[in-house]
Amino acid sequence: MVQALATRRRSPTDFFTAIARAHPRLAHVRIGAEHYYFLTHPDVIREVYVTNGRFTVKGRALQRSKVLLGEGLLTAEGEHWRRQRRLVQPAFHRDRIRSYADDMVAATLEHTAQHWTDGRQVDLVSELSTLTLTIVGRALFGSDLSGDSRTVGAALGQMLAGSRRRVLPGGQLLDRLPLPVNARIESSIAGLDAVVQRLIDEHRAAGDTGDVLSMLLAARDEDDGTGMSDRQVRDEVMTLLLAGHETTAVGLSWTFWLLSQNPQQAAALRTEVAATVGGRPPTFDDLARLPLTTATFAEALRLYPPAWTLGRRLTADLRVDGWTLPAGSLAVASQWVLHRDPRFWTRPLAFEPARWLDAEGGFDEAAPGQPRGAWFPFGLGQRVCVGESFAWAEGALVLATLAQRWDPEVDPDYDALPEPSVTLRPRAGLPTTLRARSAI
């Protein structure tokens, strides 16, 4: 058993990495009354999350996130989750993603035209969060959310800041105490609820506008013909609003930091974009012809996965790798650890987008040769992120659009330390100088 005291002496990412080095398949850690089983090998991860996924539910952090997200797809369980998944899934089919692509590019061009000037100093994380929120608002809800970025950002900041406390045993009790931090969280939730309710009211008044919110309001379960209650619609909109913009913003932030650290890779990316789309805006059909652009985003997700850990509570005893993992215990795997494990990746700490290109030069998630279970930026098993295809398209299209016209210059000597919270944000943001490129 690993000594639980070690968790207090190092960052969670360092702690998880140390566990994997000392216990290359499975480790047990007790923290208070909780028993954690750290899964450190792809075979073990697949055994728990895929083969026995039906015997797991969401872990402590996401369960506590229900205070904000309610019973949306990210937090719901069982039959309720399956029903909601059936209702939401059509919004992310390929034809829908194609229709969202123009919104992704147009929002990027408008944001930079309105807010970016050559030589301006910005926090790139904040800029990209505002941009991806605008994209989610326009693509999924047919609404302009650019004016709500401060409200959403403040609420998200409160959720991220309180995440470590909520994960610890006793965190639920602290949530109930009359503490100033809880008052701030309640105020943030109220502000977000007002934004979401405004979206719902606008859509009810306008009728079917063809976007995701209209689809949610009109959706009927194929088994019983019932639709979503107002509360269910609220929870799904809240989940898509927050989860739908945060992970992509974080992934793109790390992408630009890595490109600043690796000018040769940045030049190769710009060359591909220029050769493929020239000076016109990129489109959905261009994605297949921008393999290095997608590979660059993938490599950033490998090294700095926005969703950096995956936890599940077991609902039954599981016999795994010679161990019995008892019902009620928590099984934890870390993308941060597995994505960097030298057992499964060549030069694991190097930023090498070309590792994702196959022999014909196309993007292929299997190209690096890693085993299944060593790469899971959007989760694993039946609970894989419903918006994965949306995120891939958005990451590549925003990256290509910005690469045409801008070189966001993060100081290569800046120490961008990761902050392991709900997502893996740069701890102090990314102070960046915007550099305009000459028109192609």
| Domain contains 438 | no
Instruction: Confirm whether 290 is domain-assigned.
Output: yes
Within-domain flag for 74: yes
Query: Do residues 244 and 396 lie in contact, with contact meaning Cβ atoms separated by under 8 Å?
Result: no
pLDDT for residue 283 is more than 80? yes
Please, are residues 41 and 335 in contact by the beta-carbon 8 Å criterion? Answer: no
Model-wide pTM > 0.85: yes
Q: How many domains does the chain have?
A: 1
Both tokens assigned to 10: 């190092």
| Structural domain containing residue 291 | 4-433
pLDDT band at residue 152, thresholds of 50, 70 and 90?
A: confident
Q: Is residue 440 part of a domain?
A: no
pLDDT confidence tier of residue 87, bands split at 50, 70 and 90:
confident
Average pLDDT over residues 78-83: 83
Torsions phi, psi for 36 (to 5 deg):
-110, 140
Q: Please say if the pLDDT value at position 149 is more than 70.
A: yes
pLDDT of residue 229: 78
- The answer to whether 331 and 39 are in contact (CB under 8 A) is yes
Q: What is the mean pLDDT of residues 85-101?
A: 88
Average pLDDT of the chain, as a whole number: 87
DSSP run (H or E) holding 313 = strand 310-314
% of residues, the chain, pLDDT over 70: 87
Residue 31 above 90 pLDDT? Answer: no
Taking residues 169-181, what's their average pLDDT? 54
Distance in angstroms (rounded) separating the CA atoms of residues 323 and 422: 29
Res 124 pLDDT > 90? yes
| Residue 77 forms part of a structural domain | yes
Is 235 contained in some domain? yes
Task: Report d(CA 285, CA 283) in Å as an integer.
Answer: 5
pLDDT number for residue 81: 82
Distance CA 399, CA 393 (A): 10
Instruction: Please report whether residue 338 resides in a domain.
Output: yes
The answer to whether residue 439 sits within a structural domain is: no
Quick: pLDDT tens for 360-403.
999 999 999 999 999 999 999 888 888 999 999 999 999 999 99
Check which CATH number belongs to the domain holding 318 and give it. 1.10.630.10
The average pLDDT across 115-135 equals: 95
